[in-house]
Amino acid sequence: MSIRDEWGTPPELFDKLDDVFHFTLDVCATKENAKCERYYGPEAVHVNDDGKTVTRIGNFVDGLAEPWAPHVCWMNPPYSDPGPWLEKAYGESQRGATVVGPVPNDPSTRWWVNWAMKASQIVWLIGARVQFVSPPGIKASSNTSSSVVLVYWPEAKAKAASRQTKCFWNWKHKPFENRS
Ligand SMILES: C[S@@+](CC[C@H](N)C(=O)[O-])C[C@H]1O[C@@H](n2cnc3c(N)ncnc32)[C@H](O)[C@@H]1O
């Protein structure tokens, strides 16, 4: 497992979105980086001697196997394989979950075409790259890609909105405006 899979969301991004959505479940986290009191994930991770990989330790609760609805979910998926998380986000939104979170802005990938395109809202983060937070004891490495925040509304709301909205958000300088 790559160390980048453990990158935490910086509070300056999470807090602005939490002000709007009031998250009740972090669907993939550890005890150390969870953004909500309720979370799914390994109890903790151990950084291996190479400094680049981690091992999960403790009681593991698989966020991909657990229900998310009817929570308002925060989802910053493991960087190396976001696809299954976006697929789950879409499925859970059909069952009543709201799911929000950042992913790499990479429309050339299959996971983006298949699942990011199913989000109710795609928000391009402009003006500053998001610098994610490394686990304690690991030197921060920079994020080389831009990010988007995906919003999957629950089915009823999604139907009311009836089509996907796209917008730009100058996230460092402005609060998030909920356009649902
Ligand atoms: C990119 S980090 C995000 C951490 C935190 N939620 C945040 O936003 O700062 C992804 C997290 O998902 C956890 N994770 C990986 N596979 C998981 C799984 N199957 N179920 C739950 N959590 C998982 C990793 O341990 C890691 O902490």
Q: Report the percent of the chain where pLDDT is more than 70.
A: 94
Report the distance separating Cα 93 and Cα 27, nearest Å.
Answer: 13
Per-residue pLDDT band for 123 (boundaries 50, 70, 90) equals: very high
The alpha carbons of the chain give a radius of gyration, in whole angstroms, of: 16
| 12-21, 124-133, 154-163, 164-173: the lowest-pLDDT one | 154-163
What is d(CA 42, CA 57) in angstroms, rounded to the nearest whole number? 6
Taking the C-alpha atoms of residue 131 and residue 136, their distance in angstroms, rounded to an integer, is 15
Q: Name the CATH topology of 3-169.
A: Rossmann fold (3.40.50)
Q: pTM for the full model?
A: 0.93
With 0-12 / 13-18 / 19 or more C-beta atoms within 10 angstroms meaning exposed / middle / buried, residue 109 is middle
Q: Cis link prior to 70 (omega < 30° from 0)?
A: yes
Looking at ligand 1, which residue's alpha carbon is closest to its atom 10? 78
Selection from 49, 76, 21, 68 nearest residue 138 by Cα: 49
Whether 118 lines ligand 1, by a CB cut-off of 6 Å, is no
The pLDDT of residue 15 is 98
> Can you tell me the distance from the alpha carbon of 66 to that of 171, in angstroms, rounded to the nearest whole number?
31
Answer whether 45 contacts ligand 1 (Cβ < 6 A). yes
Domain boundaries, the chain: 3-169
**Looking at residue 117, what is its pLDDT?**
94
**Is there an atom of ligand 1 within 6 Å of 155 CB?**
no
Contact, 84 vs 117, CB < 8 A? no
| Residue 38 identity (one-letter amino acid) | R
CB of 8 closer than 6 angstroms to any ligand 1 atom: yes
Between residues 74 and 6, which one has the greater pLDDT?
Answer: 74
CA nearest neighbour of 12 among 170, 166, 150: 170
Nearest CA to ligand 1 atom 21: 41
pLDDT tops 80 at residue 99: yes
Query: Closest ligand 1 atom to the C-alpha of 5?
Result: 1
Q: What is the pLDDT of residues 30-82, one digit of tens each?
A: 999 999 999 999 887 888 888 888 888 888 899 999 999 999 999 999 989 99
Confidence class of residue 143 from pLDDT cuts 50, 70 and 90? confident
Ligand 1 pocket mutation pick from 33, 43, 56 by most atoms within 8 angstroms of CB: 33
Q: Which atom of ligand 1 is nearest to the CA of 40?
A: 21
Ligand 1 centroid distance, CA of 62 (Å): 10
Confidence of residue 156 (pLDDT cuts 50, 70, 90): confident
